[in-house]
Amino acid sequence: MGHESPAGDLRLTNLTKRFGVLTAVDDLDLTVPQGSFFALLGASGCGKTTTLRMIAGLEAPTSGQVLLGDRDIARLRPYQRPVNTVFQSYALFPHLDVAENVAFGLRRRGIRNVDDQVRRMLALVQLDGSGRRRPAQLSGGQQQRVALARALVNHPRVLLLDEPLGALDLKLRRQMQIELRRIQNEVGITFVHVTHDQEEAMTMADTVAVMNAGRIEQLGAPADLYEFPATAFVANFLGQSNLLAAEAAGPAGADVPVTAHGARFSLPVGRARSDRGAVYLGVRPEKLHLAGSADQVPDGHQHVDGVVTDASYVGVSTQYLIRTGWGSELVAFAANSGLGQRFPVGAPVAAHWDPRHAFLLPREPGPTDDRPDRPAARRAGEGAVANAPRHLLRRVVRPAKRRGAA
Amino acid sequence: MRVSRWLADRWVMIVALLVLGYLALPIAVVAALSFNRPSSRLSYDFHEFTLDNWRHPCATTDMCDAVLRSVQIGFVATVVATVLGTLMAFALVRHRFRGRSGINLLIFLPMATPELVMGTSLLALFVSAGVPQGFWTLVIAHVMFCVSFVVVTVKARLAGMDRRLEEAAMDLYASEWHTFRLVTLPLVWPGIVAAALLAFSLSFDDFIVTNFNAGTTVTFPMYVWGAAQRGIPPQVNVVGTAMFGIALLLVGVSSLRARRSAR
Ligand SMILES: Nc1ncnc2c1ncn2[C@@H]1O[C@H](COP(=O)(O)OP(=O)(O)O)[C@@H](O)[C@H]1O
Ligand SMILES: [Mg+2]
């Protein structure tokens, strides 16, 4: 995000919030382009809500700035900011009906004829005719829409959404994701959408910022984050990754050669986040292909030999676990396109990949387990683990029992 | 076998009815006696049905004066105690300050202290301070014990309120004052009303503390106490029944409104 900020960008600079000894948001720098759908993605407890609250003015930053355009709004009262929030628990006023909930902001700003705007907004969120009902009489999904309408009707410069779909069941959530996208397209307001659901962030947002322990780990378009993660945390928080502990000794020509468990690999310089010292060699499971033997590996691909230890058929694909010669397990997803070969459990295979699809990440030097560090799960304590997306809890690359390494 | 089964299915209901009957019996007696023409001043059995007592409630003027006095004291004490108690409840729930837990404890003292002790110590205080006893000492005494109940009632309501509603209001361009008036107050209001009703009924029927600090003022409970020696006029039952009726009406109206606004 190197460009100079135009009039409406939301910029957080050196934003920090401490609660006593706990640093909830740690020197955050972030630019949200005007009109974009921006997702702030991170495990529970990593500081997402605190960040939103500082933008909304409900929490005073310990230090740093919140810039909207060129104006620092960090010291303004919440009602002085052209920013509105959709709260995690909706926070609808129980003593007011739906129409009055939606009209609340308009009336406070002294706007007289609110009926038309309220009606149009309720139509936008598909709640026509529900204006006279009380929030308590609405379903969770409907309450969510009211909360959205109540914020949007004010045409804020930035709309903040704090896990707005978290309380909805899966089907409704999918529906609302599409709905939210549609509405954002229609109104063109900057959306900052907080979520711990990586799939939600990827499908909805133009730009995703992955947050971990109060900091931004990586920011970019969903595809860029997925194809070329910057850290082991991102590699495993956004989808799954096979990460092999490796050593690199700097680039040689256009490639970076690495050594992992005695075997030699290489990948293009452009795919290396780090090209020296302790690194992880990463390959996404769907980019790890299986061949019956090393001779069948296509030219230019690199491979490790292993044995299939598990094959789960999940309809569109089959998910294989492959134990490597040195005892760790790799995951490979093979599309059930009817073209490829199927491998039974126990079959010897060569797991291969195109080096242009691999990536190299920095690694804390230490024992060479093929196990990425999981900072969020470690630092945020038990609660974070319980709330983390399921894929976080599943070890993708696990050091299997080392059998007599013959 | 069948009887025990029948009992097993309904015993909760039966116990509930018994308890209700136990609670309602004295009130029923009072209501019945308000329509009684007693045979003599000191007789309390139902002698003859009449509407005279209801038609002329102020036949004994002393009694009506006493009722009026009690209503006046109750009204002033309720207003003062409700305002003070509500402010205290807000301070205790919303702010962290030194001595907060001490005050929380102190609030319970008037509820826990025997009324006799409270009455005599107030008497000692007023006498030693040279304050003449009467209407205003009664108001002060009543505010003192009512305020605790107000604080406890409003505090419970306030503590159950979601702070995010106020944050949402501020996010939607409501200043601190508008947030209070449009969101906080309407949501706490039922608690304040309940507290005021409680305060009034506590003040209206207080006897012990009142008796020590009344000077020459006569409140309704004091009048009834005095009259008991000479024979209670049946109009006392009219006042009692009317009070009960008004209370019932208020409860009915408020629950009806609550149900309507929930719809
Ligand atoms: N008012 C507060 N006082 C103390 N700690 C807080 C407060 N609000 C949040 N925290 C802490 O700050 C961290 C980040 O919280 P939060 O921003 O709510 O995370 P998220 O929304 O990502 O789940 C958590 O460890 C949380 O316990
Ligand atoms: Mg949160």
Q: Which residues pair with B49 in a beta bridge?
A: B36
Residues in B closer than 8 angstroms to A57, CB to CB, are 170-171
Ligand 1 closest atom vs CA A194:
21
Substitution site in A18, A44, A49 for ligand 1 pocket (most atoms within 8 Å of beta carbon): A49
CB-closest option in A84, A95, A109 to B187: A95
Phi-psi region of A252 (alpha: psi -120 to 50; beta: other; left: phi over 0): beta
Contact A89 B173 (CB under 8 A): no
- Whole-Å CA distances, A289 to A75, A263, A292, A302, A322: 54, 18, 10, 10, 11
Distance A118 CA to ligand 1 centre (A): 34
Q: Which residues surround ligand 2, an ion (CB under 5 A)?
A: A 49
Distance A372 CA to ligand 1 centre (A): 25
Q: Give the residue whose CA is nearest to atom 5 of ligand 1.
A: A19
* Tokens (6 digits) for A101: 């909930």
CA distance B182 to B180: 6
The reported pLDDT for the residue numbered A371 is 54
Residues in B closer than 8 angstroms to A151, CB to CB, are 171-172
Q: What residue segments make up the domains of chain B, in order of their start?
A: 61-232
The reported pLDDT for the residue numbered A353 is 96
Question: What's the CA dihedral at B6, B7, B11, B16 to 10 degrees?
Answer: 90
Ligand 1 closest atom vs CA A48:
22
Which candidate, A65, A57, A81, A6, places its Cα nearest to that of A30? A65
CA distance B171 to B169: 5
Using alpha carbons only, how large is chain A's radius of gyration in Å? 24
What pLDDT digit, counting tens, does each position of B23-69 carry?
Answer: 999 999 999 989 988 887 777 778 888 888 888 888 888 888 999 99
CB A265 within 8 A of CB A272: no
CB atoms within 10 A of CB B107: 20
The residues, ordered by sequence, that sit 6+ positions from B20 with a Cβ below 8 Å of its Cβ are none
A227-231, B1-5, B229-233: which is most confident: A227-231
The reported pLDDT for the residue numbered A366 is 66
What pLDDT digit, counting tens, does each position of B130-151 carry?
Answer: 989 889 999 999 999 999 999 9
CB A62 within 8 A of CB A83: no
Residues in A closer than 8 angstroms to B177, CB to CB, are none
Task: Name the class of domain B61-232.
Answer: mainly alpha
Which candidate, A371, A330, A368, places its Cα nearest to that of A247? A368
Q: Give the residue whose CA is nearest to atom 24 of ligand 1.
A: A45
Checking if the pLDDT of B207 tops 80, the result is yes
The reported pLDDT for the residue numbered A381 is 33
Ligand 1 site: residues with CB under 6 angstroms?
A 19, 22, 24, 42, 44-50
Which candidate, B229, B230, B241, B227, places its Cα nearest to that of B63? B227
CA distance A380 to A196: 14
Interface of B with A in 148-177 (CB under 8 A): 162, 164-165, 167-175
CA distance B9 to B71: 47
Work out the end-to-end distance of chain A between its first and last CA atoms, rounded to an integer number of angstroms. 51
**A348-353 and A289-291 beta bridge pairing:** antiparallel
Residues in B closer than 8 angstroms to A108, CB to CB, are 172-174, 178
**A190-195 and A37-42 beta bridge pairing:** parallel
How far apart are the CA of A358 and the nearest CA of chain B, in angstroms? 46
Residues in B closer than 8 angstroms to A100, CB to CB, are none
Contact B164 A87 (CB under 8 A): yes
The residues, ordered by sequence, that sit 6+ positions from A318 with a Cβ below 8 Å of its Cβ are A311, A312, A333, A334, A336, A342
B36: DSSP letter: B
What pLDDT digit, counting tens, does each position of B142-184 carry?
Answer: 999 999 999 999 999 999 899 999 999 999 999 999 999 999 9
Contact A91 B162 (CB under 8 A): yes
Distance A381 CA to ligand 2 centre (A): 15
Which candidate, B187, B193, B204, places its Cα nearest to that of B253? B193
Q: Which residue has the tokens 């038990």?
A: A382
Contact B187 A134 (CB under 8 A): no
CB A19 within 8 A of CB A363: no
The contact set of A with B (CB < 8 A) is 56-58, 77-79, 83-85, 87, 89, 91-95, 104-105, 108-109, 134, 136-137, 150-151, 154
How far apart are the CA of A352 and the nearest CA of chain B, in angstroms? 53
* Tokens (6 digits) for B209: 């503390």
B134: DSSP letter: S
Contact B173 A108 (CB under 8 A): yes
Q: Which chain B residue lies closest to A135 (C-alpha atoms)?
A: B262
For residue A41, give the ligand nearest its CA: 1
The reported pLDDT for the residue numbered A395 is 39
Contact B170 A77 (CB under 8 A): yes
pLDDT digit of tens for each residue in chain A (406 aa)?
444 445 689 999 999 999 999 999 999 999 999 999 999 999 999 999 999 999 999 999 999 999 998 899 999 999 999 999 999 889 999 999 999 999 999 999 999 889 999 999 999 888 988 899 999 999 988 999 999 999 999 999 999 999 998 888 888 888 889 989 999 998 899 999 999 999 999 999 999 999 999 999 999 999 999 999 999 999 989 888 999 999 999 899 899 999 998 899 999 999 999 988 999 999 999 999 999 999 999 999 999 999 999 999 988 999 999 999 888 899 999 998 888 888 999 999 999 999 999 999 998 876 656 654 333 333 333 333 333 334 433 434 444 444 443 3
The reported pLDDT for the residue numbered B229 is 83
B45 — contact with chain A (CB < 8 Å)? no
Q: Give the residue whose CA is nearest to atom 21 of ligand 1.
A: A49
Substitution site in A44, A50, A59, A198 for ligand 1 pocket (most atoms within 8 Å of beta carbon): A50
Q: Is the ipTM of this complex over 0.90?
A: no
How far apart are the CA of B153 and the nearest CA of chain A, in angstroms? 20
Distance A45 CA to ligand 2 centre (A): 7
